[in-house]
């Protein structure tokens, strides 16, 4: 059997590894147009901040070759599913194919001279263009935009972020939670700002801004040999003997919505499933809850599930400390969202341990847990580590009271 994998990102590289683990004798060929092997795209802002790019390479080309996976530094332009042939530097036949071609930055306006962050070469170029004391304009206050803002600030650049929406991280946080976070960030963010054009070191929006470095981070669009994103099932399959993984795919999430993948955590799990199945195994992926997390200027931020504007539900928010009052703990915010029946459907957290709070809520959502259970659940306790009732308990207790009273 011959398995061809097109793309060597988190999805493609992982697919190659799990295909090899499943079938030790199959011929496996992986195509990588970048030539670096598999690396963490989530680590690209670290490269901008000064980390050696070689340190983020997880599996170099030599690793694939040592593990019996033929590595080709070539781009694939066409995939003929019926003829079972791909076209890159030359034609290559296959029995099974895994498409992992990823995405490219999208931009709704002319951006002459602006930079984007999608691949390692982009991060290296941005790093080379950094001007200490210079002015950086970042368009977009999503995860990438804010992480890049922090990286540039560490490099002593003056940073200004322009965001079209009325609050930051609009795909991750509710407006009230986002505003709480924004007050803690040491950068200049202009909200409700529509950028019209970038040209010759100028960013034209509500007003004209001069920029020594302009970076656009307003989203991505899938790139595939088929000209559009690929919708896959729970086996990561989209046609007979054809699989697809990562940012080039569309999946159904836990709530039944069709979404385009944009998280490395999903891509890796898809890669595992597609790799196993392409080599003759039988594996499925759990429907995603879209858990997200980051750390911006030392502040941990995380979310999972639905936002308040995505459901006619009920929510409660706790803002306080993560330790008993006499321990001088750190600030923490937890917002829990439930449907009208009290079943937990989402959560957002800011503060130390936010990602672990979200993991806990994710398990509750998967099990369709009622908010009253988490309100009553016993936690581990020690004054120096955690209070008797932590932020999740308290937020759920508040929410449970609302549900009992039948009001939002």
Closest CA to 251 of 303, 288, 284: 288
For residue 21, pLDDT over 80 is answered with yes
What is the rounded radius of gyration, in angstroms, for the C-alpha atoms of the chain? 23
What per-residue confidence (pLDDT) applies to 200?
A: 84
Share of the chain above pLDDT 90, in %: 97
CATH assignment of the domain containing 313: 3.50.50.60
Does residue 391 belong to any structural domain of this protein? yes
Same domain, 97 and 233: yes
Residue 287 within any structural domain of the chain: no
Structure tokens at 75: 């781009």
Instruction: Indicate whether 262 and 335 sit together in one domain.
Output: no
Residue 283 within any structural domain of the chain = no
- What confidence category does residue 407 fall into, taking pLDDT thresholds of 50, 70 and 90? low
According to DSSP, the residues that pair with 370 across neighbouring strands are 343
Tell whether 285 is covered by a domain.
no
Q: Does residue 112 share a domain with residue 209?
A: yes
**H/E stretch holding 258:** strand 258-260
Contact 13/40 with Cβ under 8 angstroms? no
- Return d(Cα 264, Cα 10) in angstroms, integer: 6
Q: Where are the alpha helices (DSSP H) in 140-287?
A: 143-154, 175-182, 264-278
Give the β-pairing of 249-252 and 258-260.
Answer: antiparallel
Q: Are residues 117 and 172 in the same domain?
A: yes
Q: Are residues 50 and 94 in the same domain?
A: yes
- The pair of structure tokens assigned to 244 is 């697809």
pLDDT for res 207 = 93
CA distances from 28 to 19, 74, 388 (A): 8, 15, 53
Rounded distance between C-alpha atoms, residue 380 and residue 396, angstroms: 17
- pLDDT, residue 408, reads 47
Instruction: Indicate if 177 and 271 belong to the same structural domain.
Output: no
Give CA–CA dist 267/249, Å, rounded.
Answer: 9
Judge if 302 and 393 occupy the same domain: yes
Stretch 159-165: mean pLDDT: 98
d(CA 174, CA 227): 33
Q: Mean pLDDT in the chain?
A: 96
Residue 284 lies in a domain: no
CA distance 125 to 174: 34
Which among 222, 205, 189 has a CA at the least distance from the CA of 110?
Answer: 205
Kindly indicate the confidence band of residue 234, based on its pLDDT and cuts at 50, 70 and 90: very high
pLDDT of residue 262: 95
User: Does residue 406 carry a pLDDT above 80?
Assistant: no
Contacts 24+ apart (CB under 8 A), 357-365: 357/302, 357/391, 357/392, 358/291, 358/293, 358/302, 358/303, 358/304, 359/291, 360/392, 361/304, 361/305, 361/336, 361/392, 362/289, 362/291, 362/304, 362/305, 365/254, 365/289, 365/304, 365/305
Encode pLDDT of 172-208 as tens digits: 999 999 999 999 999 999 999 999 999 988 999 989 9
The pLDDT assigned to 89 comes to 79
Q: Are residues 135 and 194 located together in one domain of the fold?
A: yes
- 326 in the Ramachandran plot: left (φ > 0), alpha (ψ -120 to 50) or beta? alpha
CA distance 302 to 353: 9
Closest by CA position to 141, among listed 207, 199, 187: 187
- Residues 238, 164 within the same domain: no
How is 192-233 classified by DSSP, letter by letter?
A: S----EEETTEEESSSEEE-SEEEE-S-EEE--TTSS-EE--
Q: What is the pLDDT of residues 66-86, one digit of tens each?
A: 999 999 999 999 999 999 999
Q: Is the domain of 8 the same as that of 90?
A: yes
**Which residues span the domain enclosing 12?**
2-104+220-278
- Same domain? 12 vs 86: yes
Residue 246 and residue 104 in contact, taking contact as beta carbons nearer than 8 Å: no
Sign of CA dihedral 159, 165, 169, 174: positive
pLDDT for res 133:
93
Task: Give the global pTM.
Answer: 0.95
CA dihedral 242, 246, 252, 255 (to 10 degrees): 160
Residue 286 forms part of a structural domain: no
Residues 59 and 118 in one domain: no
Could you give the CA distance from residue 385 to residue 262 in angstroms, rounded to a whole number?
A: 34
């Amino acid at each position: 059997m011959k398995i061809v994998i097109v793309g060597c990102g988190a999805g493609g590289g992982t697919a190659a590894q799990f295909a090899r683990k499943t079938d030790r004798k199959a011929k496996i060929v992986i195509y990588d147009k970048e030539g670096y092997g598999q690396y963490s795209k989530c680590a690209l802002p670290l490269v901008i901040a000064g980390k050696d790019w070689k340190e983020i390479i997880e599996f170099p080309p030599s690793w694939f070759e040592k593990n019996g996976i033929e590595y080709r530094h070539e781009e694939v332009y066409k995939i003929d599913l019926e003829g079972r042939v791909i076209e890159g530097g030359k034609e290559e036949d296959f029995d099974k194919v895994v498409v992992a071609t990823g995405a490219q930055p999208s931009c709704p306006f002319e951006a002459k001279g602006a930079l984007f962050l999608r691949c390692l070469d982009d991060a290296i170029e941005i790093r080379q263009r950094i001007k200490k004391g210079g002015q950086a304009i970042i368009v977009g206050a999503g995860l990438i935009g804010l992480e890049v803002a922090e990286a540039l600030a560490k490099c002593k650049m003056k940073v200004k972020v322009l965001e079209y929406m009325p609050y930051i991280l609009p795909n991750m946080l509710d407006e009230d939670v986002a505003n709480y976070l924004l007050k803690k960030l040491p950068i200049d963010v202009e909200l409700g700002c529509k950028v019209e054009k970038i040209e010759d070191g100028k960013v034209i929006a509500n007003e004209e801004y001069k920029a020594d470095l302009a970076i656009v981070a307003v989203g991505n669009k899938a790139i595939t040999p088929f000209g559009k994103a690929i919708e896959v099932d729970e086996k990561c399959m989209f046609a007979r003997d054809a699989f697809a993984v990562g940012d080039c795919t569309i999946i159904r999430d836990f709530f039944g919505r069709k979404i385009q993948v944009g998280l490395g955590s999903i891509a890796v799990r898809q890669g595992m499933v597609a790799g196993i199945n392409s080599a003759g195994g039988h594996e499925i992926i759990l429907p995603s809850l879209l858990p997200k997390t980051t750390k911006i200027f030392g502040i941990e931020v995380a979310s999972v599930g639905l936002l308040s504007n995505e459901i006619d539900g009920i929510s409660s928010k706790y803002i306080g400390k993560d330790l008993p009052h006499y321990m001088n703990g750190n600030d923490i915010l937890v917002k829990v969202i439930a449907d009208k029946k009290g079943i937990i459907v989402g959560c957002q957290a800011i503060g130390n341990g936010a990602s672990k709070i979200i993991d806990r809520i994710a398990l509750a959502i998967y099990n369709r847990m009622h908010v009253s259970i988490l309100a009553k659940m016993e936690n581990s306790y020690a004054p120096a580590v955690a209070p008797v009732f932590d932020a999740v308990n308290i937020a759920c207790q508040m929410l449970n009271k609302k549900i009992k009273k039948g009001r939002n």
